[in-house]
Amino acid sequence: MIDLDPGEELTLIQDTARKFATEALNPAQRDFEAAREVAADIRAAFAEIGLGALEIPEELGGAGLGAVAKVTVLEELAAGDAGSAIALDPLGAALYAVSELGGDGAVEQYCLPLLEQDGARAVLVLADEATLDIGAGTVSGTIPWVPADRVDLLAILTREGAVLVTDGLALEKLKGSGLRAAGASEIRLDNAPIAAAWQDKTGAARALARARLGAAALLCGVMRTACIYSREYAKDRVAFGKPIAHHQGLAFLIVEMNAALEGARILTQEAASRADQGRAFEVAAAQAFVEAAEQAAYIGPNALQILGGPGFMADLPVEKYMRECRALGLLYGGIDRAREDIGQTYLDCDLPIQLTEYEA
């Protein structure tokens, strides 16, 4: 028998995140987008709830919860506003580079102080995405885009390990497309000192996998709200004597969009569950991210298409959902890097191949 009950604790966390997103984020999403930041009182309320420390170990003052709780919360927050969900998380995916490679001591040294600073941001980038020269003690180069206007801790993830940079970061604000509430900047480093460096290929792979799970959860949240908004619009909009949702073509499309969302969510939750159980989850996380990004590229434009011309207007949020689906799909190397990692894993695995009599 399969038990689909998330349990009382996770249900309470999910309800808390959903209420916060519905009451605090969704109504002000356009204001946050215009300001390129979340209002200070909302940041304070989020910090008080403690959702930003879900994965911090209990002995360090956090909730000590795992990946399933994190992806559940991220989906709920992104359903309110994905850019705000990123902006509100002081540590973001940078936590994974620190925890997986540096351990609890590094988390205490580099991450916990950021939880005490209003508006502090840590950012994770892949070295493959940037033009960087990582030397013995310094980093130079350019990172073309990060969803942030402030970076207190930069974690640069390579295929072999990670380096942390806390000083010598010059940010130039960009206009940005999606995730504007989180900000958008180019980062330039000119012999920026390396605060910490680790070499651990396995830890780097796990850190990237956890980052991809977070991105997949954010995509699920945006897809969910895009599906709901476009469906409700189709139920209210009347053409040829009946709601357009009752016309077969749109009815099928609405069903397919929701099926695509559920498929991406199942893969994300399954990969997160594997992580919590201590099982290998790197490939599952990459697959979940690819599925979520691909389905977001399907759901976002089709949600807008259901609305037609009004969908392009800033008076309605659907054009924003489409932009954010695209932007989230670019994180952590995007679909191409995820597919590459999946393929390389299968190429490297040593599985016996059963030949047929004819092939032998």
Q: What is the pLDDT of residues 105-162, one digit of tens each?
A: 999 999 999 999 999 999 999 998 888 999 889 999 999 999 999 999 999 999 999 9
Q: pTM of the predicted model, to two decimals?
A: 0.93
173 in any annotated domain: no
In the chain, how many domains are there? Answer: 1
- Give the dihedral of Cα atoms 134, 135, 136, 139; nearest 10 deg: -60
For residue 2, name the pLDDT band (cuts at 50, 70, 90). Answer: very low
CB 289 within 8 A of CB 338: yes
The string of DSSP codes covering 309-356 is GGGGSTTSSHHHHHHHHHHHTTGGGHHHHHHHHHHHHHHH-----PPP
The CA distance from 59 to 62, in Å, is: 7
349 pLDDT above the threshold of 70: no
Predicted local confidence at residue 245, as pLDDT: 86
Q: What is the pLDDT of residue 3?
A: 55
**In a domain? residue 315:** yes
Contact between 22 and 80 (Cβ < 8 Å): yes
Q: Does residue 65 fall inside a structural domain?
A: no
Q: Domain residues for 254?
A: 203-348
For 196-239, write each residue's pLDDT tens digit.
999 999 999 999 999 999 999 999 999 999 999 999 999 988 88
330 in a structural domain: yes
Average pLDDT over residues 185-202: 95
Dump pLDDT digits (tens) for 45-66.
999 998 888 999 999 988 889 9
In a domain, 270, yes or no: yes
The CA dihedral of 338, 340, 344, 347, to the nearest 10 degrees, is: 120
Q: Determine, yes or no, domain membership for 327.
A: yes
What residues contact residue 134 under an 8 Å CB cut-off, 6+ apart?
127, 156, 158, 163, 194
Q: Is residue 39 part of a domain?
A: no
Between strands 153-157 and 122-126, the pairing is parallel
For residue 141, give both structure tokens.
Answer: 């180069």
Domain assignment present for residue 251? The answer is yes
* Average pLDDT value for residue range 95-112: 96
Question: The domain spanning residue 220 has which CATH number?
Answer: 1.20.140.10
Report d(CA 178, CA 321) in Å as an integer.
8
CA 270 – CA 267 distance, rounded (Å): 5
| Phi-psi domain of 71 (left: phi exceeds 0; alpha: psi -120 through 50; beta: other) | alpha
